[in-house]
Amino acid sequence: MADRLRPLVGLWRRHGLRGFRVLVWTVRARRRVRRQLVQGGMDAVWPPAPPVGGASDRTVVVRALHRAGANCLERSLVLQRWDARQRTSRTLVIGVTAPSAGFHAHAWLDGDPDPHRAEMTELLRWEPPTNWLPATVQDRSTRP
């Protein structure tokens, strides 16, 4: 895996120490999510809290997940956690294709462009746990 991540060290030059912290967090979060999914399913997933970052750092997260070989579910869960830290509640969607077309499952975040989404039938929508969101966002989402 180190060879796949080596090109990402160039992010240090573009994004500095903050980008490097985001990169390290992403790799750790993806590993933890993979382990937790195997051990306990979706309810057991609890990635570490992301470092403070900005909108441009999401690019670092996306690239690191790609280079680390994250599958669509791992990718979506890590990005859902990242976006929650940025005060954006994103719904994870899991869809499937009809068995007659050759069964496939896919996960994505609602609102993200995804080329496979059109051929999928939604099976599950999973909101982020409320304590992934900062307190001010939690307060707004619980008001009538």
The pLDDT tens digits for 6-31 are 665 666 667 677 888 888 899 999 99
DSSP state of 102: -
**Which residues have a Cβ under 8 Å from the Cβ of 115 and sit 6 or more positions away?**
none
Q: What is the pLDDT of residue 8?
A: 57
- pLDDT tens figures, 66-111: 989 999 999 999 999 999 998 889 999 999 988 877 888 999 999 8
Asked, for residue 144, whether it belongs to a domain, the answer is no
Asked, for residue 136, whether it belongs to a domain, the answer is no
Q: What is the pLDDT of residue 45?
A: 93
Asked, for residue 140, whether it belongs to a domain, the answer is no
Q: What is the pLDDT of residue 143?
A: 40
Asked, for residue 25, whether it belongs to a domain, the answer is yes
> Based on the structure, what is the number of domains in the chain?
1
Asked, for residue 143, whether it belongs to a domain, the answer is no
**How much is the pTM?**
0.83
Q: What is the pLDDT of residue 144?
A: 44
Asked, for residue 13, whether it belongs to a domain, the answer is yes
User: What is the residue-averaged pLDDT of the chain?
Assistant: 84
Give residue 115's pLDDT band: very low, low, confident or very high (50, 70, 90). confident
> What count of residues does the chain have?
144
Q: In sequence order, which ranges of 1-144 are alpha helices (DSSP H)?
A: 2-5, 11-40, 57-68, 72-85, 135-142
Residues of 24-54 as b/e, b for ≥16 C-beta within 10 angstroms?
A: ebbbebbebbbebbeeeeeeebbbeebbebe
Asked, for residue 137, whether it belongs to a domain, the answer is no
Once rounded to an integer, what is the mean pLDDT over residues 49-60? 82
Asked, for residue 43, whether it belongs to a domain, the answer is yes
Q: Which domain holds residue 58?
A: 2-131
